[in-house]
Structure 1
């Protein structure tokens, strides 16, 4: 795989980020959280704001930004500091997720740390990035754009429309006064600096302890190379290739998608009493072939039923949403079973019951506003991006076309982050990092974890032998203890360590069932 990279000597790459910018206000006053955040929590939470510089590159400006922060305080002694979390995106808030997963994360980190999450720039109420005055205008714009998300390399007419649609959106973001101003201020490097402001406010030793998942691994890698001497503990979990994120198109993310889907089918065949899809074929190979034939049929022969159209995109969206989460595999099984059985009423009921995060993300400009502001793929025209369309399609038969809209948007994006990391991600952190990759992760392949580990001296890759996107989707006592040991005393697992999952994916179990084996007297939600 070729990376479109801007390479700098390590010394030059790091020197650009070593400057200590002036702090605006390092104090955080903790108090009650908003009702909607408290509603998802089972243990005490605290919320507060920290005031940070709005533009870290403008040292003459006194403009500031209030960043919202949530804390889950530990009740154990001795207290060992704080761990800051980012759960992915970009464009997704973090405080609500921490509130909901607080008990589990307290157990997995050993219980002696305060747990902290901030809503990154561009998300929630933190410099919210929006390209439209209101939802009515937004819906009208996206209806006009009509993204042809599933256009293949040979679909030149659909790809041309996709390019024009991306042009409409990028132009809207560039012309809207608020997004034009904010689009330069929501990049990952600024978010990394905001996190270090939080560290300065809450840690006496000035050192960072961090756990980043999915896009949070890009943020974590950026923190590690910008502030290597301030890294005490850092876990990156479900690694997204940061080289591609900043300098190319996101091709590697789907490298294992088809293999993960094949494993879903095998696990289904192994659990016919819990996977209704297993009744259609006696072998995983024949069942997989039937599903791909179904997808090919729907691509060119959509079904009109009950006033709606069931097409290729209908089922791909469900697969994309549920494959990441083994707990949702029964839903995926039921959806595929209903189509193979021609029970279209059941399929529409399943579709209606699902609140797809990807569907909502498509209406959230921060998802691509942050990503595209960070990215410089070096391409600018329709013809230049076409080879990437082919590369994506070849990478994954199942999800290769899903990356086309972002590729088209990034190629035409007009709002560049004021600060981007442009180095090669080679660094020696104060304490080596723990890098975790799932064996069957449909969104961030294990190879990305191995690749980035080569860049960070002393880092160790732990292979989590589970399914879904990142470790939190599939429990393992071995992985849980490895994370505990790392945060408790800095101990890294031996190179080549493989941790088996504690249960099969259709077992109707979760990390919650493992908490007693990890030293918790509580049961997480």
Structure 2
């Protein structure tokens, strides 16, 4: 959960896949901002609007922002209508618009047709304006990202110093090029205020909200700021909000190594037919991986693939391992294949796990280009560093911080230390912004928290800490490795989600849901007689819900993978 520049690059690569899912036909810059929700048809069955909000709620003379808001309208009579459910897919910096275009039908299947399913691009992000930008052109941004090739903080003796220097450079660019002054107003507390205003514009006094990953910070912050405005708040993949605001995310690494262990254990269970990196014991697989890692550190492997070319070195190998921990049900199989091939000198499979996410950059030379909206480096740092305390650490202090965090997990090179490093050069802070502690003794309705049994960046310890801040709320667990419940479909989990919104039912403390998936699953059958995938309009019952959950998971994975850490 901590974007060093290698993280920002990988986040940027992953972000490209989500952009391809949203039809490019709708022009947000042609839509006039309004103080009301003036809906216009967009993206087929969706409706869009640009909502004016004050940059500074305490001083409205500062200026305005225009939020890109999208909804999949409820499909019931007026008497049956139950209002909006606001959805944040994570990040920070994730485009709620692009995500909802894909996930909307699945979310409406999950929660019910009585609700508008609503998402938005937070201030400074994507289609919302003014957009945060440190770069003068798209090409300059691409060059910066190309120069930010993944490097582990322990790849060499000067990796930390190098990243620290880059952080200071980007911090200076941010301060100098923030001509619209949006950066200091991108903080999570202002987004919480925007959500309350949005809810009120719908004609409702209390918030209904589903937040994933960074969306858990946003949901908990809202509940702390407006405890009497909570109708339903569901947060999934719960981060420690106090740690977030204090720029010390060590707790988030608590279960990271447990997810890697699930790779070893799952490979043994799957056997050699399904896991290409198989050994008869988990320890043997672990030792085999350690030996391969040392080999690649000494002898990187060049790769030329149909989509890109590069080098599989120590950093890329470690980066790919860490990335796979977010979505093990998707990536553990390809990861095993890639590791086995890499032992034989073939790095193409492993390289493609990250490289295939990024299409080659091309300048748009048309006379009326679509405005660039995947401003991931700017959005991540604008929120993360703008929220946190002012980091004034020296290089020696950062190294001591990193080495201490490394006692928690072997992956803090991408997770904890890098977060502190990334914000060490940040100079744009707003006085009076919301800070820790995050909690409220009595919200108007209990929060519902979901944790997986082994989350690489949002461990159960963080969820329990959040729970302690909101007495009366409830936490339950999904028995699966990976980040958020969307790592694997679970009919049990989806039932508790639905019942919470529909009638306020909370699971019993200690509830654990199983998943309807398996690690290292065999590929689906092909050829004559194969079972085809079903759409949401076909069938009913469990299969239709599983299809909905897959749709949501496919949409949010690129976004949750770009949050602090990846």
Partner of 1:28: 37
Change in Cα spacing, 1:345 to 1:106, as seen in structure 2 (3 Å) is closer
SS at match of 2:232: strand
Label 1:390 to 1:515 Cα distance change in 2 as closer, same or farther (>3 A).
Answer: farther
Q: Does 1:202 find its partner at 2:202?
A: yes
Distance in 2, Cα, partners of 1:361 & 1:433? 32
Distance 1:379 1:132 in 2: 24
Q: Could you say if the C-alpha distance between residues 32 and 504 of structure 1 is closer, same or farther in structure 2, counting changes exceeding 3 Å?
A: same
Residue matched to 2:510: 496
Q: Unmatched 5+ residue regions in structure 1? A: 1-23, 39-43
Instruction: Give the deviation of 1:441 after TM superposition.
Output: 1.5
Query: Match of 2:438?
Result: 425
> Partners of 2:160 and 2:62 in 1: how far apart?
45
Q: Does 1:342 align with 2:340?
A: no
CA–CA separation in structure 2 for the residues paired with 1:305 and 1:471: 34
Q: Does the aligned pair in 2 maintain the 1:475–1:511 contact within 8 Å?
A: no
How far residue 338 of structure 1 moved from its aligned partner, in angstroms, is: 1.5
- Single out whichever of 487-496 and 71-80 deviates more from structure 2: 71-80
CA distance, structure 1, for counterparts of residue 294 and residue 112 of structure 2: 48
Q: Secondary structure at the match of 1:482?
A: helix
Partner of residue 484, structure 1? 498
Shift of 1:465: 1.0
Task: Tell me, yes or no, if the aligned pair for 2:187 and 2:386 is still in contact at 8 Å.
Answer: yes
Secondary structure at 2:51's aligned position in 1?
A: strand
| Pairing of 1:77-476 with structure 2 (within 5 A) | 78-126=80-128, 127-141=130-144, 146=148, 149-152=151-154, 156-178=157-179, 181-203=181-203, 205-272=204-271, 275-279=274-278, 281-304=279-302, 308-325=310-327, 326-348=329-351, 352-355=355-358, 364-376=377-389, 379-427=392-440, 428-476=442-490
- Would the alpha carbon gap of residues 132 and 292 (structure 1) be closer, same or farther in structure 2, given more than 3 Å must change? same
Q: Return 347-356 or 244-253, whichever deviates more.
A: 347-356
Supply the distance in 2 between the matched residues of 1:396 and 1:249 (Cα, whole angstroms): 14
How high is the TM-score relative to the length of structure 2? 0.79
State the alpha-carbon separation in 1 of the partners of residues 230 and 253 from structure 2.
Answer: 30
Give the Cα separation in 2 of the matches to 1:248 and 1:462: 27
Distance 1:522 1:309 in 2: 38
Question: 2: distance between equivalents of 1:435 and 1:468?
Answer: 16
Relative to 1, partners in 2 of residues 1:296 and 1:319: Cα closer, same or farther, differing over 3 Å? same
Between the aligned partners of 1:361 and 1:268, the Cα distance in structure 2 is 36
Instruction: Note if contact 1:150-1:313 (Cα within 8 Å) is conserved in structure 2.
Output: yes
* Residue pair 1:26, 1:198 contacting (<8 A) in 2 also: no
Q: Is the 8 A contact 2:240 2:251 kept in 1?
A: yes
Give the Cα separation in 1 of the matches to 2:343 and 2:331. 19
Name stretches of at least 5 consecutive residues in structure 2 with no aligned partner: 1-32, 360-372, 525-532, 552-566
Q: SS in structure 2 opposite 1:395?
A: coil
In 2: Cα distance, 1:99 partner to 1:319 partner: 30
Change in CA separation of 1:511 and 1:212 when aligned onto 2, cut-off 3 Å? farther
Matches of 1:441 and 1:411, distance apart in 2: 27
CA contact (8 A) 1:393 1:401 kept: no
Q: What SS does structure 2 have at the residue aligned with 1:295?
A: helix
Deviation at residue 346 of structure 1 after TM alignment = 4.4
Segment of structure 1 superposing worse, 343-352 or 287-296 = 343-352
Partner of 2:74: 74
CA distance in 1, matches of 2:496, 2:385: 35
Give per-residue Cα distances to partners, 1:289-310, cap 9 Å, x unaligned. Answer: 2112222332344234668432
Instruction: Tell which has more relative contact order, 1 or 2 (C-alpha 8 A, sep 6+).
Output: 2
Q: Secondary structure at the match of 1:190?
A: helix
**Secondary structure of 2:406's aligned partner:** helix
Sort the Cα spacing of 1:522 and 1:286 in 2 relative to 1 into closer, same or farther, 3 A.
closer
Report the CA distance between 1:158 and its aligned residue: 2.5
Stretch of structure 1 that moved more, 114-123 or 467-476: 467-476
Q: Which residue is 1:14 aligned to?
A: none
Normalised to the residue count of structure 1, the TM-score between the two structures is 0.85
Deviation per CA, 1:463-499: give whole Å up to 9, x if none. 1112321112211121111111100111111111111
Corresponding residue number in structure 2 for 1:19: none
Match of residue 365 from structure 2:
none
* Contact 2:241–2:436 (Cα < 8 Å) also in 1: no
RMSD over aligned Cα atoms:
2.9
Q: Which segment drifts farther, 509-518 or 444-453? A: 509-518
CA deviation string 1:302-353 (max 9, x = no partner) = 2346684320122222223332122233222222221133333444455543
Equivalence map 1:7-46=2 (5 Å): 26-33=35-42, 37-38=43-44, 44-46=45-47
Which moves more between the two structures, 217-226 or 401-410? Answer: 401-410
Indicate if the aligned counterparts of 1:131 and 1:178 stay in contact, CA closer than 8 A: no
> What's the secondary structure of 2:167's corresponding residue?
helix
8 Å contact from structure 2 (residues 93, 379) kept in 1: yes
In 2, the alpha carbon distance for the partners of 1:505 and 1:338 equals: 20
